[in-house]
Structures are given as structure tokens and as C-alpha cells.
Structure 1
């Protein structure tokens, strides 16, 4: 694909056309509702925020039947959200990450009420009592910090209000789906309000067992979530919001099938897509030659407490945001393990692990409407993890009966100071400059363990140390200009940088002792053990306009990224043992164009539309040090995606009926496995969702039906180094009853 040198010209033409439409619009009713966001850490209208972003309201999520983050990508330009076996896989504008271990970091930050959630396994939970979800595309290193080179997803819960209200919803659908949720908000006093929200989500497995056993398979759910919150007014100038939440999920960890379900010649490393029914795609037919699978299972538990404190000091407001969160996960799964094109084994894995994280941020933001506005803050983050991956059944390749990776502890610490200043040069022109300095420290004490039994025995077993410590730091900055072309149209430009912390692979370096000594005979070179921070510089030009008397909107963004040391991960056999390795990909380039908006054609007809163009490729990368991938596409980076939606409201004798349809057409894209020098090409594909809702006038209740993936098209969400693929969700549908008291 050629580089799109005409993007800025096209951007200017689109802005001019929008302004012309605004000038000639006829007076009509029903403007598009404005949305207040906090993408820049202060409240502003989405249409006046100089960031490429999408906002999904809690009401829109409920109407669409979405209850987990992995379902949201259909509504988001240039975003993939995949429910991988090891957690939520976030890809924004072709930038992703596949290291979900306790030493890895994402490229896009996932946040819950502004709190960074470090582990992907803890990100794809139920969307509980959501006010809105803000998705920021592009690096956000100044205000949000490290690991935001791709962007930020911030799930914002509804806070307690001074209104007595309650909600209840129940849902039933195919695959045995049954869901329920409830909310109760109680104003206890003038200064105190309480809110409680609960949700339950259960459904059977999407997968079919073709292995000849009676075991059930994965992609099922049995989730429960609860959140309690309290908001207190502390005098005329201060407030405190407290939240406590807990979630659990009992499910099956066997959530994958062989890549042969999608590709011919996958075993030989030359995969070619072929057509098949959804049932064939979702059937696990792999019969291990070396073992009998066990019944897979998994249990996860997460909980957290958090506080938001706000104190208006007059010229400035003081903010504090802090939380303690815990996550535990245990599972048994049956892996597909491709050793050579002619040999694929079955492997049983037992995992147990947990993570604890604490974060604190203190920030001061100026008040008033003067020529200068500023904010500055300090950030502190600590994470401690422990885990043990224990594998069996690898004796045919010369490994002992048990092969394990115990680690305790894995530590991550991050400290940062940041500030951003905006100068209102004129009534229409504003200039912004921001700077953040971050220090990161990671360490791990663990081992690669070769065992005769499930518990390590020093008399019969031996271990290779996995022990490393790395410290990195980075200054990230942002420069921006935005200008009001008209009361409802503004343009912006930003030049910014992003940073993702460096890390380490399995092994150790001779002469370094970190909990355990590193024997010289098994040591690795620093160049192999450590990988460098991922950095980028990004230029973005954008425009946002409301025209046709604010009944139509157009958002446009053209961007260009230059990546250095892009981090890519996969499994490889190193020194006779399977290891999970991350390397730096040299240089990568990303450039593209995004266009999206809404049209309120009449009081009863609403359209949404979107178009993205993307060229994301490696500029310089040799996965094995020999073969060049220069010019090849990055993962999940289709050259273009077109989306469209339509909703119609009909009035019928005291009743309201709403019908909607949303379609998305994606060009082909790649999923790469650099450690095997393989790229899987996913062909162009379309998906369609539909909704239908009915509510009597003035009734507190409504009934809705929804259907996702009407065409039942199944594509792999992920493919790993062993040939295991996690399929996307099949066609699902359901009926929902909602009741609201206020």
C-alpha cells in the first residue's frame, strides 16, 4: 500500500466542506447531544477536545447488548479488542502487545475510573453500571503516562447522585445466556449519597468438543460483580468519592482450537485461509497423541477499593486519586503444542498466580477562564505479582514430566511528575505544552524448573534461574495548537511522544545476583536478556465540526507515527527449553486517516458512519536476525474499514418502537508470529448487528431484542506460536427487560 501523502489536503477539504454545510444549513430541530468528557483530565465537550477519541455511553451499551470490553470494537474506529486466552488484547491503529505475563506491559492503557489496570487478565470483566467509556487513540504519554503509546481506554462508572433511583434488567439468549443486573441509588442526607450495583452473566461454551471426550470446552462464563460507592460533600468546596468492588468468574480455560480450523498448510508455516462453516471453525478436533485431556477449568477473583478527593481552593483545585487492587487466577487447560510441522503434542498446564497493585496520584489544576490554564501532578505505582506455570506431557521432546516457571516476586514500580499548560493566545487560538518524566523499575526472582513431580525436589530436579532487574526512564512531551474556525468547528494539531517501559526475558546474566545466583554456564548475554523501551513520535492533525444546525457531526484525524524499538513477543525454544521471548522490532511506521460522525436526519432517524485508512508496517525488522520483514504489515492493521449504522424510531398508538442496524466491513489484515517467521492473513470480512426495542409511553419498563454477528462469520482473535487460535464469538442473540424507578 502506498503512503497517503494527501491526507492533510483531504483533511482541509473535508473541513472546508463541513464549514460550507454549516453556513448553508436550514434551521431544523433535534441537535446531536453534546457529551462532556475528561480526556484531558478536565471536563470539556467532546466536540471541543483536541484528541481523536470515541465515547460510548452506558445507555448505548445497554441498548446494544454489550456487557464486556471485548465487544466494543465494532463501534470504535481503528480499534481491535480481542478476548484472548490470556486476557484482553488491545490494538489501536495497528499497535498491540502479546506479552500478558506478569513481566509484560500493554501498549494501550486500560483504566477503570482513572485507575490503571496492569494485567490483561483483569481487564475483560463485566461492564457494571457504566456512565461512559472514553477511548483515546494515539499516544497519551503526558497526562496518562507510560504504556499508552497506542492510546487509552477509560471505563467510567456512574457515581452516587442526590436522587432516589433504582434499575433492574434481565436478559436471556442463545448458548444458554442469562444475565441480570441491578442498581440502587439512595441519598442518605444532603451531604451523603450511596449507590450499589450488581450484575450476573452466565452462558454456555461457544466451542464444540470433537476430541472424543465428554469434557466441556471454554468461551463460557459464570461471572458475578458488585460495586458499592459513597459520595460525600465535605463542606462547600470539597467532596470525597469512595468505591469498593468485587468480581469473580468461574469458566473453562480451554478457549482455543487449532489454526487448522481456519488455514490450510498451517502446520508447514505457509497458512492459506479457506472457507468453512461457523460450526467447523468452533470445533476442537485435536486429538493429542501423547496424553488424554483433562476437564479444563478456571477461577478468577478481583477486588479493589479506591478514593477520589476534590478540593476547590479558589484559584486552583486539588485532586487525589488512589486505589488498591487485587487479582487472583487459577486454571487448568489443555494446550495444543506444535513442535514441528509433523508433530503436535497435547500439553496440560496448571497455573496459579496473583497480583496486587497500589497507585496514587495528586494533581492540581487551575480554575477560571484567564489566558493561562495549567495542571501538574505526581504519580506513584507499585505492583507485586507471583505465578507458577506448570506444564506436563512434554517428555517426547526430551523434557521431564513436569516443566514449570515459578516466579515470586515480580515487581514493577513507576514514579512520575507531569504538567501541562494551555495559553489562550486569542479568543479562537490556544497553544498547549505538556511534559512528563517517568522512572520505572522492574525485577523478578524465578526459575525455569525441570521436575519429576508436581513439587520441586532438590534431590532429583534442577532449575535455571530467571532473575533480572531493569531501570528505565523517559521524558515524554506534547505540543499542540487548536483553533476555532467557527462556533461549531475547530481544528487542532499535536506533536507528541510516547513511551513503553523496557523489560527482560527468561534467564539471567552472569555475575548478577538477585535473590539467586546466576551460573556462568547457563547465563545469557545482556543483549538477549533485556529489551529496550518502546518509543514513538506522533504527528496528528484533526478537525471536529457540528453542522446542519448541529444535527450532523464530522470528526477527522490524520496521523503519522514513527516507532522505535517496537516490542514483539512469542514463544521459542532457547537452550533446549520453551521460553516466552520479547524482542525489539527496530523501526515501524504508522500513518492513516479516520473519519466518523453522526447525522440526526429527522427527529426519528439517526445515522452513524465511519471510515478509516491505515498503513502500519515495519520499516526495519529481522525477527530471526536474518530474514527481513521490512515493509510487512503490523498485526490487526487493515488498510481500510467502513462502518455504518441506522436507527429508526416509530410512534404507534402510545408506544415507541426503535429499530437499529450497525454494519462493519474490514479489509484483510495480518496476525504475525515472528518467532516462527509466519504471518496469518485474515481476509476481508463484514459483520452486522441489529437491535429492536419497545416501550409504552410514560412506562418505567422496556423490552429489547438484539443480535450480534448476524452473518455468523468467525475469524481468529489470536494465534500463538504453538498453533492455537482463539476464535471470535459466533452469532448471539437475546431478549432483555429493563425497569427503572425514579
Structure 2
């Protein structure tokens, strides 16, 4: 993997050789197995049109709603165990998505992710609004690699698209209840009603609660975080507008009352962490999950948080014969209020407690108009226009920094932060020969970001002009980019498909706290308060990817293999962290120069018999900085990117046993990850998380012809706890401990 000239050629050769071998086996097979012994095909919409997953030229994973339910997964953060080269971490500030070593840590209202999270095709901008309950899910499609043509900006890493069930012309209902450790209790229900020949309705509700995974060692008696109390509901309506058009409407609402104090000190995992030389050490899970930090400068308060999210969307399709016209639009809003108690390391061996109050909200509107050709001709194409507007307001208030000579209160009021994006895109595929197709795509995106706010130095919780002062935070930036995709795919055999793509990705530039001398957005910035443009603004990040892959079915359709070899050239990688600037804590994003990512992914399934199924996966990854000096002096060249283990092995087995009119299914899944890094560039520190194995298990009982199933599940059976995130102040969010539960499902259809 470190042979940077020969690796792509070598990997491409391995893929081709494997595909040739499997194709030969398939061609000489004589006996066709029963359908029950074959791996079933899955239809996906990864290319914005419906196609079999095994014939889609994208490295991707698909997890069905039935698989989620069987495994006991109910949030996106739990999916990563089943996805190659993917980390989905439940951070304190929302869902942290890392795909092939490409990630982002700026969850503020001015930041953007590197992987797009979507709900039924609608881009969800804020990570705080991404890790809710998975409600009535049909499937989740996870696309690895840049998707800049069809999905646009903020897809340099890939796309996670949660696709829910739409109303159908069938009367059906379902109910489920779940109970487990940490006083976990969950329930969900669904009702689908065909009202008449042209209208169908579907309602779904879910609730999920569990106590904190953390222990309080602070001596306060307060409860801590990593808990949940989520309630969510969705109502959908699908109407047939004549024979050629349809309209799908969805409206949803969710709330979550939880404790944001979901972190512990990095000393729970690493010795000498406070001295900038962290070394992993062994400790029981209970110690990892105990917050024993006792601040000397104040007493923590009871942390609390309440968020509310809602949305309405419309999807209209009209078959005009040669083409189909589609419109997808949505309005979404999200509000969050919380009080949390930070661990705030200001210097080696000097750590304070800092309390923070936050109130804020976000509104977003998006519209996409798209036209796609119909039929089976040699040429297929699609083109469209995209429009996105986001407006946010917030106010952070920090206190308790007086012991180090700082102002009693720091406030960061912002209203508004605005993000606008406009795009035009198109992609066409031409069938050069019966088995060979060529694809070309292009997207042009214009982005505009602006913010009006301030950094307030206050004597009390409310700004007083007589005793307090403010530094303006006002900036505006426009960036634009053309992203493109070129590809070839070829059917080596009816069951073997190979492809190659060259694609680009793009994430918009932005700004940090401060202002440029003069007047911006109606806000005056005196020369004494101005900051240098090189500090205020950071540039767009861009990525160029070369990928070859293959998807094949062999052994009479009983086995599958998906393979992908890829190489990225990454420019201006955006990295974020906290620092003290002009006497105030600030969240700063900078560009990291050049990074390189290359790797190999192999995964598949084997249906050994009608009752025995195996799954397997292997990923190899070399993701490192090529040119990066975090402080302008010290080189991080050749240091690894975050959450990029050099290899990961995954294996699963599921067995079905039938007896006396009953069916019992049992399964086990194991994942072995090599060591990986979590970096804090602003402190010139990398935390090395060692190699680790996690094991999940499931067991289900279903009587024949009965409408119900009783099941049990266990996650992280070895109770191995690793940090999900570590920030600049020494706060670490632990991963989930061992959890288990039993579940009852009833279905009427």
C-alpha cells in the first residue's frame, strides 16, 4: 500500500483476476439452485435512477430496514459495524461521518460535512439533526467516494441516504417493542391504508429511551449524558395524478430530551494525555465510562438538552413519454437548547471546568428539478437544477474562566448565518457496445456564506454596554466549482460487472471568527479589531478520485464479491479545532495542504445452503498527509488521517433451523480493526487507538404462519470501549458499551 506508483495497477490486476476466475466458475456451473439458496438482488437509486445494486458503478453498501430491525439497530451511528471503510460516530455535537479517511469536525452553523447525510433524498445540513431514530426505513444506501455530479457539494467523502417506506396500495400494519439494559425501552408502529384507487396514506411513530452509559465520579449526584429520550412521527401520502403522474408528501416531527454531558477526560484512555504525549493503557469498561473530573474553579450544574426537528417534503414525478420530469423540495427546521459542563484543558496539568449555555435554531429550504430519459435506447441522460438556502441563529455563552485571568462570561451571538447553494448538473450514459457503457457527468455549483455576530466579553450573562465590549464577527465568502465524473463499465459475463471512474468532489470555503477592516454586511470593523484575511478565510477543499471496481455473482448465484480499488488526491483538506485567540476561546478551521488516500475494499456474501449464510469483508487503507504543517513549523507529512485504520476484517454467519412448525435464526458478526489515529492539529497531538475487535449476536424465533417474531440481540459483547471523538480541550466522547435486549415484532398484512 505504500508503493505509491504501483499500487493502483496492482490492485486493478487483482480485481480483474478475481473477476475472471469467478466469471469462469459461473459459466461452467450446471445445476441451478433454488431461489432460497441464492443471494437476492437489491434495487437502489444511487445514480438517481433505479438499478440493481450489482450493476451500479459505485462502491456502495445497502442495509435493509429488515436487517436493521433484526440486528437491533435504531440510529445511524450503529451502522458502521456493517459498512466497509466507514466510521459513523455519535459525537457530542452530532453525527460524525468518516468514509475512507475523509471526515470533518466543524459542526458549527458555519461548517459543512465532508459526507452528505440525506433523508429520502433531502440534504440534512446539521449533524445535530442526523443521528435520530431510524423510522420505518426501507433501506439505507451508503455511497463511498466523491459524488459531486449527481449529489453536489459536501460529498467529497460520500453519501449516506436514509430511504423510508412510501405508502402502498396494501392494507398493512406493524408494531414492535424492545427492552434492554441501561433501562432501554423502545416502541414503534406503522399503519398503511389504501384510501381509494388514487390515494394511499402511511403513518409511522417511534420512541426510544435509555439511561446514561456514563457513571458520575464527580461527587455531584447529577446524571450524565450518552442517554436518549427520542420521540418521532411521520405521515406520508401518495396520490396518483392520472395515469402518468404522482405526488408523494411527507411530514415529520421529532424531539429528543437528553443530557449533553456525554464526555469524559482523555485521561480515561491515555496516560500523559495532559502533557501532550498520549499513550493508550488498559482499563475496565467501567473506568472508561466514569467521568471523575472535578473542576477546582466551580461546581458543575445538571446538564440538559432539548431539540426539536420537523420537516415537510414533496416529491412529484410526471412521465412525459420520452422523459420523466421530477421535482423534490423540502422545508426543514431544527431548534436546540442546552446546558453542558465542559472539561477545558488550558495548559498541561491545568484543567478547568467550563459551563456553557446554548440556544439556537436552523431553517433550510431545498428544491431540485430534474429530467431523465426513459426507454432502453443506447443513450440515457439526466439533468437538473438545484437550489438550497439555510439560515441559522445561535448564542453560545461560556463562563468560569476567571481563574486564568479571562472575562467572567464569553458570548458568541450570531444572527444570521446564511448558506446558499445553486447548481446545474447533467449526466449521460452511452451504450458503446452491448456490454460496454460510457458515462460523463458535470455539475457547476455556486456557494455563498455569510454571518453577522460578535464575540462578547461580559461581566454577567447578559451584555451590558456600560461594562462590556464586543468584537464583531462579520464575513462573507463566495466560492464556485465544476465537479465532473467520467466512467466506463463493462459486463464481463451476465453475472460479472466491472467499472472504472475518475471523479471529483468539492466542499465550499468558509470563514472563522473575526472581521476584515471596513464594513461587511452592514457591520463596521475597526482596524484595531480586524484580522488578517489568511486567518479569517479558509479555502474550498477538493478531491480527485480514480477508482476501479467489480461486482460479481458466482457459484450459481450463491456467492457475491464486490471489489474496489481507489486513489484520492486531496487538496486543501479542512481541519478544525479550538484555540485561544485574542483572549477568547474560538473554533478555527484551516486548510491542510495536500493529502493522499488509497485503498482496496472486498466484501460479499456466501449462501452456503438455504439455511446457512456467511458475510465477509476486508479493507486496506493508506490515508496520510502529503504536505501539512499545522502550526507553520512542525511537519505532519506522512502522518495518518483520522479514523483511517490500515486494515479491517469483518465476518458474519447466520444459521436457520426449522423444527415442529417453528423457525429459529441465529447470527454473529465480528469486526477486527487495526489501530487508527484521532488528531488534534491545534495541539500537535495524535491519539493512537489500538487494534480492537467487536462482536454482535442475534437470535430470533418465529412460529410458522404466525404474524409475530420474538428476538434477542447483543452489541459489543466484549465490552470494548474506544473514544469516538477527542477535542482540543481533552474531552473524549466514549463509544457505546455492551448493550443487549429482547424485541417483539407483530405484522399484519
Give the structure-2-normalised TM-score.
0.99
- Asked if structure 1 preserves the Cα contact closer than 8 Å seen for 2:412 and 2:454, the reply is yes
State whether structure 2 residue 101 is matched by structure 1 residue 94: yes
Q: Distance in 1 between matches of 2:562 and 2:631?
A: 41
Q: Distance in 1 between matches of 2:618 and 2:671?
A: 10
State whether structure 2 residue 345 is matched by structure 1 residue 338: yes
State whether structure 2 residue 350 is matched by structure 1 residue 352: no
Cross-structure match for 1:7: 11
Runs (4+) off by over 3 Å = none
Structure 1 position 572, deviation (Å): 1.0
1:453-475 per-residue CA deviation (whole Å, 9 max, x = no partner) reads 11111111001111100000000
Cross-structure match for 1:21: 25
Structure 1 alignment gaps of length 5 or more:
none
Structure 1 position 576, deviation (Å): 2.0
Q: Distance in 1 between matches of 2:389 and 2:519?
A: 23
Give runs of aligned pairs for residues 164-313 of structure 1, distance below 5 A: 164-313=171-320
User: SS in structure 2 opposite 1:280?
Assistant: helix
Cross-structure match for 1:141: 148
- Asked if structure 1 preserves the Cα contact closer than 8 Å seen for 2:410 and 2:584, the reply is no
User: SS in structure 2 opposite 1:369?
Assistant: coil
CA RMSD between the two structures: 0.7
Counterpart pick for 1:153 among 154, 157, 160: 160
State whether structure 2 residue 53 is matched by structure 1 residue 49: no
- Asked if structure 2 preserves the Cα contact closer than 8 Å seen for 1:26 and 1:548, the reply is no
Cross-structure match for 1:599: 606
Structure 1 position 513, deviation (Å): 2.4
Q: Distance in 2 between matches of 1:347 and 1:666?
A: 35
Counterpart pick for 1:507 among 489, 514, 518: 514
Give runs of aligned pairs for residues 424-435 of structure 1, distance below 5 A: 424-435=431-442
Give the structure-1-normalised TM-score.
0.99
Structure 1 position 59, deviation (Å): 0.2
Counterpart pick for 2:421 among 382, 395, 414: 414
State whether structure 2 residue 488 is matched by structure 1 residue 481: yes
Q: Distance in 1 between matches of 2:691 and 2:360?
A: 38
Q: Distance in 2 between matches of 1:525 and 1:283?
A: 43
Q: Distance in 1 between matches of 2:584 and 2:11?
A: 48
Counterpart pick for 1:129 among 121, 126, 136: 136
1:235-261 per-residue CA deviation (whole Å, 9 max, x = no partner) reads 000000000000000000100000000
Structure 2 alignment gaps of length 5 or more:
none
Quick check: 257-266 or 506-515, which moved more? Answer: 506-515
Give runs of aligned pairs for residues 375-414 of structure 1, distance below 5 A: 375-414=382-421
User: SS in structure 1 opposite 2:668?
Assistant: strand
1:665-715 per-residue CA deviation (whole Å, 9 max, x = no partner) reads 000000000000000000000000000000000000010000000000000
Give runs of aligned pairs for residues 297-696 of structure 1, distance below 5 A: 297-696=304-703
Q: Distance in 2 between matches of 1:389 and 1:247?
A: 24
1:45-95 per-residue CA deviation (whole Å, 9 max, x = no partner) reads 000000000000000000000000000000000000000000000000000
Q: Distance in 2 between matches of 1:215 and 1:296?
A: 8
Q: Distance in 1 between matches of 2:532 and 2:407?
A: 26
Structure 1 position 290, deviation (Å): 0.1
Q: Distance in 2 between matches of 1:698 and 1:327?
A: 44
Cross-structure match for 2:119: 112
Structure 1 position 575, deviation (Å): 1.9
Quick check: 574-583 or 671-680, which moved more? Answer: 574-583
Label 1:700 to 1:287 Cα distance change in 2 as closer, same or farther (>3 A). same
- Asked if structure 1 preserves the Cα contact closer than 8 Å seen for 2:346 and 2:352, the reply is yes
Structure 1 position 26, deviation (Å): 4.7
Q: Distance in 1 between matches of 2:309 and 2:566?
A: 37
User: SS in structure 2 opposite 1:556?
Assistant: strand
- Asked if structure 1 preserves the Cα contact closer than 8 Å seen for 2:476 and 2:520, the reply is no
Q: Distance in 1 between matches of 2:143 and 2:271?
A: 38
Structure 1 position 18, deviation (Å): 1.6
Q: Distance in 2 between matches of 1:436 and 1:261?
A: 46
User: SS in structure 2 opposite 1:520?
Assistant: coil
Q: Distance in 2 between matches of 1:180 and 1:441?
A: 42
Q: Distance in 2 between matches of 1:329 and 1:682?
A: 32
Q: Distance in 2 between matches of 1:190 and 1:159?
A: 16
- Asked if structure 2 preserves the Cα contact closer than 8 Å seen for 1:361 and 1:379, the reply is yes
User: SS in structure 2 opposite 1:61?
Assistant: helix
User: SS in structure 2 opposite 1:512?
Assistant: strand
